[in-house]
Amino acid sequence: MLVQIVSIVFPVFTVIAVGYLYGRKHRPDMFATNQLNMGIFVPALVFSALAGKSVDLAHVQTIALGGLVVVLGSGLLGWPIARRLGYDPKTLLPPMMFKNAGNMGLPLLLFAFGEQALPAAVVLFLVENILHFAVVTWWLGHNAKLWRLLREPVIIAGIAGVLVSLSGVTLWPPLLSAVKIIADVSTGLMLFSLGVRLNTAPFAQWRIGAVGAVATPIAGMLIAYLFCLAFGLSSHETDILLVFGALPPAVLNFMFAELYRQEPEKVASIVILGNLVALLSISLALALRLA
């Protein structure tokens, strides 16, 4: 199991390392590149992940609610931590709330619990992404109007992907392949950009990275466990939600911090250390549920 977890995490850190080494030598300005990624490549990733899968939402409503509670509850638990330690909540809370439910969560849940976990994994990915764009765009984007979120490319892509999935319509394979080619750009570019940004992170900022890295899985697993107890979730549903709670911060947190100039160096530290700590937190969650 540990070998499988390492096999998921290792490619992530390899791309980050390449970005770090390139950025150390060339110091590129990644701002315009990140805007392009958020406007085109990431929306294509969301659409392809949803439109290519058939999901019966009626069977995963409780899991969807659980994902919502884990995300928002992590923010509530993180608020006093940020205030106590003197950190800006806008810097610490988003990485604690919004997890790597796509690049790491989807393959991990499929490996651990089989194909029967796919609908729940996709729905958790969707819930997390919609909340991420809704909350962060409103909070960091100078109190932007929530209705304007409907114009965000990722939200549009998510809605379109769900509609295609629910309709049962099979997209023309060459079209889906074209979207996937565009989508495949997003992950590597996000990780590379994160590596470049780490060159500007002074050592002192790794302190907040350590706090976020430890607090993220602890808060997520605690809230997931309490939710499962309160709502009487089945063993299978508890397995999925507890592992979701243990996931590390999504790289997308760094992209938003870069986009809105919200201390991206500190957020980069939280993301990188959080994914390192994930080797332990995810192993613990899997050991508890698969023992």
Quick one: pLDDT at residue 215? 95
User: Is the model's pLDDT at 31 over the cut of 90?
Assistant: no
**Residue 192 burial (CB count, 10 A):** 22
With H, G, I as helix, E, B as strand and everything else as coil, classify residue 152: coil
The per-residue pLDDT for range 274-284, each reduced to its tens digit, is 888 887 888 88
Quick one: pLDDT at residue 244? 95
- Domains of the chain: residue spans and CATH: 2-290 (1.20.1530.20)
Q: Tell me the chain's radius of gyration from C-alpha atoms.
A: 18
Q: How far apart are CA 95 and CA 252, in angstroms?
A: 9
CB distance 92 to 82 below 8 Å: yes
Quick one: pLDDT at residue 8? 65
Quick one: pLDDT at residue 204? 57
Quick one: pLDDT at residue 177? 92
The per-residue pLDDT for range 85-132, each reduced to its tens digit, is 999 999 999 999 999 887 678 777 877 787 788 778 878 988 888 888
Quick one: pLDDT at residue 87? 94
User: Is the model's pLDDT at 203 over the cut of 60?
Assistant: no
User: Is the model's pLDDT at 183 over the cut of 60?
Assistant: yes
The per-residue pLDDT for range 234-272, each reduced to its tens digit, is 898 999 999 999 998 988 898 888 888 899 889 988 988
- Helix 206-231 crosses helix 89-97 at what angle (to 10 degrees)? 50
Q: What Å distances lie between residue 93 and 73, 78, 195, 259, 270, CA to CA?
A: 11, 6, 21, 16, 10
The per-residue pLDDT for range 131-158, each reduced to its tens digit, is 888 888 888 876 556 666 677 787 888 8
Which of the pair, 52 or 29, is modelled with greater confidence? Answer: 29
